[in-house]
Every structure is written in C-alpha cells, then in structure tokens.
Structure 1
Amino acid sequence: KKNMKLLVALSIVSIACATQFVPIPGEMEGFSMGPTRTNYTIDVYYDHLCPDSAAAWEGLQKYFHANQYWLRVVIHIFPLPYHTFSFVVSQAGRFIQDNYPDDFISYLQFMFDHRSKYLDTALFWTMQQIKNNIAADASSLSQATFSEVLNALESDSVNNEVRVGWKYGCSRGVSGTPIHFVNGVMVPDATGFTTEQAWAHFFYSLNATKY
C-alpha cells in the first residue's frame, strides 16, 4: 500500500510539474499577408532552415500572389531543435518582422535559398561568427543595420518572442515543418504541396464539396 501511495503521489507531482500554460502572445502571432477579412486563411508553420519548408513556400507564394485579393496567408516561424542554429536565425527574422515588415519575406527567402550556410558551414564557426554572419546577411537585404540585428540577437525580449511563438505552435499540435492550417483546421496533406497547382486543386475541391 505504501509503495502504491508513493507511486500515485509521484505521478501527481510529475503531472503538475509537466503542466504549463502557454503564454498569451502580446499580439496575434505570425506575419500576415492578404486581406484581414476573407473566407479563407492559411496559417503555415515554417523553419527558416528546413528544406521541406522551402519547397512548400515556393508553391504557396505563387498561389498567393495569383489570389491575394481573397486569400490570407499567415506565416509562423517554428524553429526545429535539430537544426542547430535555427533559433538564432529566427531571432533575426523576428526582429525584421517586428521592425521592418516589408523586408521579412526577403529574409525568409534568403534563408531558404542559403540554408546550407547555417546548416553545414556554420558548424565550424563560433557562436559569435554565426551571429556576425546573420547580422551581415540580414542587414544586406533589409533596412536594418548590422548593429541593430546584432543587438537583436542578444535581446531578451526578441528571444522571448520567438519562444512564445514556438510554444504557441506546440499548443496547436505543431511538431514539425511545414504544417498548414486552413481556417484553423490542420491539413496534413498540404505538407506535400510544393506547386501552385496543388493549392489550386485543393481549393477547387474544397469549394466543390459545398455545392
């Protein structure tokens, strides 16, 4: 009986310790494109250094540009722990998103196109070299200065924003990238959508089922 009581007590304690409330973001999470009021919103979760995210973005951005008058896309960055430097890359992206939003897509595209630099080459650098390179790249394609980005990489508030965004993704069941939600509903099949045609077929089929 004593052993059973001890086991139950330990289980309760472990559950209590493991239970954490997701912090409420200071504002709506994600980088939004398209009309604020629309029938369809795609929420997408990407990792800056994820090859599958890069492939998914290629098709989605083409479809969005052709249909941006009615389609809203919200990009959430979800740094994966097994991409060693994805978090620090995300910090710079978050700073640009908050302060120079017109340059966020350029930063996203750059990191997708040059992800091997921070997946492979950076493994031989010191953390300071990594931060210097990120600051140099970010400032070269945005209005942000080198020192601004470098300071952002040391900022507790930017660090916390990325963490809150990641926890928000976890609360929605996100565990990898790319993940897509359409009007708040996860669409697992969309992970494999890499072309404009795939999205066109999806929305054609979605609307066809209504009639």
Structure 2
Amino acid sequence: MQEAKHNIVILQTASLLLLVLVLNGCAQTLPPAKYDGFLYEHGRGDPDSILIEAFFDPVCPDSRDSWPPLKQALAFYGPHVALVVHLLPLPYHDNAFVASRALHIVNKLKPSATFSLLEWFFKNQERYYNAQTRNMSRASIVDDLVKQLTAVIGNSYHSSLESGFTDRKTDLTTRVSFKYSTSRGVYGTPFFYVNGFVLPDAGNARDFNGWKKVLDPLVAAPKKQETLHFFL
C-alpha cells in the first residue's frame, strides 16, 4: 500500500514537471527586443503623423490588390501619414510563412530592400500559390525563393539568404509577427488600423478615394482636438 502511494506521488511529480516544461516552452516570457513591423520609409519626419498599420500576407491576392491604393495615399499625404506593415501568414496559404520569413531575412540583411521584396511577392505571388507548389517539397520552395531573392537584392547576398532560412532566429521572428497580429485581433488580410483603431471594413481592399475619405478629416483636423470620432 505504501509503495503504491509512493509511486502515485512520483507520477504526480513527474506530470507536474512535464507540465511546467511544456508551459515554459510555449510561453513567451519576454517581449521582443524590437517592435514588430516594417516602417515604410516614405513620409518619415512628422512626429504628428497619422499612423496606418497594415496587416498583410505576402501571398494573399487581397493584400496585393490593397497595396497600390495605399501606396498612392502615402505619396499623396506625404509626411502627414506613416505606415507600418505587419505580417500575418495565413495558415490556408501553404507558403505564406516561408514568404513572410523571407521578408524578415531580407529586412535584416538589407532593410532598404524590404518593400521592394514585398512588391515582388505581390507581382509574382501566383508562383507560390497552393496549386502551383502542390508537388514541390518545402526544401525546393526555399531553394527557389533564395534564387529569386538573390535576383531582387543582389548576388552578394546569396549565401546570407541561404543561411537565413536555417537560422532559428528568423523562424522565431516570423512567429512573433504572427502572434502579434493575432493579439491585435487580426484574423484575415488585408487588415488596417489607423491611429490604433480598427478601420471599418478593414478586410476589404480600399481604393484611393476610400483612403481619402478616411484620411482627409484626420489631416485637416486641428492637432489639439480629438479626431477619433470617425471610429466611434
């Protein structure tokens, strides 16, 4: 009887230790060292800039379609509007995670090429659709990506791009982006926040006039007044 109780205690202790190990492995005890997202260079400099946060999937057609009017709005409003792009690799797009990881790798190697690569994905994303890569291994897809990325950012980066896909840090950074996006309540792409508030119908690709309707009142509003009535 005593031996049976002793065995139960051992099993309970082992189970508790296993649970602690699992929780420690799954939990992120510290925030990342850098705020998530890619800052669009155009329009920097105004501390009172209206902040747009865009959540994209590099191989999402709706993300692709929403980019040209958003880019047009950024050019139109100049330093009055700033943009940060976050990545949400959607699980039903087979290559979304590896494409997002590619953007993080390039952002680390050559930050000035990040948005050029994002636009490259938007122009060539059909290459990485589910149907087109159904019979390709993950290794083959990564090899193809390295080849394409080298052509975009330069031959001198080829070996660094290869090693980037085996670097655990780039995998973790891409996971952090996914977790950050979901923590903001984002469930699809494209998705937009303006000055921290969810944009109505954020999941739909907006045209330039749609962005003007959102931004004109905010740009024209006196800085000392509350301008968030649009979202209420």
Query: TM-score per shorter chain, which class?
Result: 0.7 to 0.9
The structure with the larger Rg is 2
Alignment of 1:24-43 (within 5 A): 24-33=31-40, 34-35=43-44, 37-43=47-53
Query: Structure 1 residues 172, 23: closer, same or farther in 2, change over 3 A?
Result: farther
- What's 1:125 paired with? 136
- What's 1:9 paired with? none
Number of residue equivalences = 195
Whole-angstrom CA distance in 1 between matches of 2:62 and 2:34: 28
Higher relative contact order (CA 8 A, sep 6+): 1
Give the TM-score normalised by the residue count of structure 1.
0.84
Query: Structure 1 residues 205, 189: closer, same or farther in 2, change over 3 A?
Result: farther
Contact in 1 for aligned 2:62/2:205 (Cα 8 Å): no
**1:199 aligns with one of 211, 220, 228:** 211
The C-alpha deviation readout for 1:21-73, integer Å capped at 9, x for no partner, is: 68512111111123252231001100000001001111101111222221100
Alignment of 1:1-211 (within 5 A): 24-33=31-40, 34-35=43-44, 37-119=47-129, 120-143=131-154, 145-206=157-218, 207=220, 210=227
- What's 1:4 paired with? none
Contact in 2 for aligned 1:30/1:75 (Cα 8 Å): yes
Moved more, 177-186 or 32-41: 32-41
Letter in 2 for 1:104: T
Give the TM-score normalised by the residue count of structure 2.
0.77
Partner SS, residue 192 of structure 2: strand
The C-alpha deviation readout for 1:145-181, integer Å capped at 9, x for no partner, is: 2222121111100000000111111111111111101
Contact in 2 for aligned 1:48/1:90 (Cα 8 Å): yes
- What's 1:6 paired with? none
Contact in 1 for aligned 2:90/2:96 (Cα 8 Å): yes
Structure 2: gaps (5+ residues) = 1-18
Whole-angstrom CA distance in 2 between matches of 1:72 and 1:38: 9
Whole-angstrom CA distance in 2 between matches of 1:65 and 1:89: 26
Query: Structure 1 residues 202, 84: closer, same or farther in 2, change over 3 A?
Result: same
Contact in 2 for aligned 1:193/1:199 (Cα 8 Å): no
Partner SS, residue 125 of structure 1: coil
Query: Structure 1 residues 100, 117: closer, same or farther in 2, change over 3 A?
Result: same
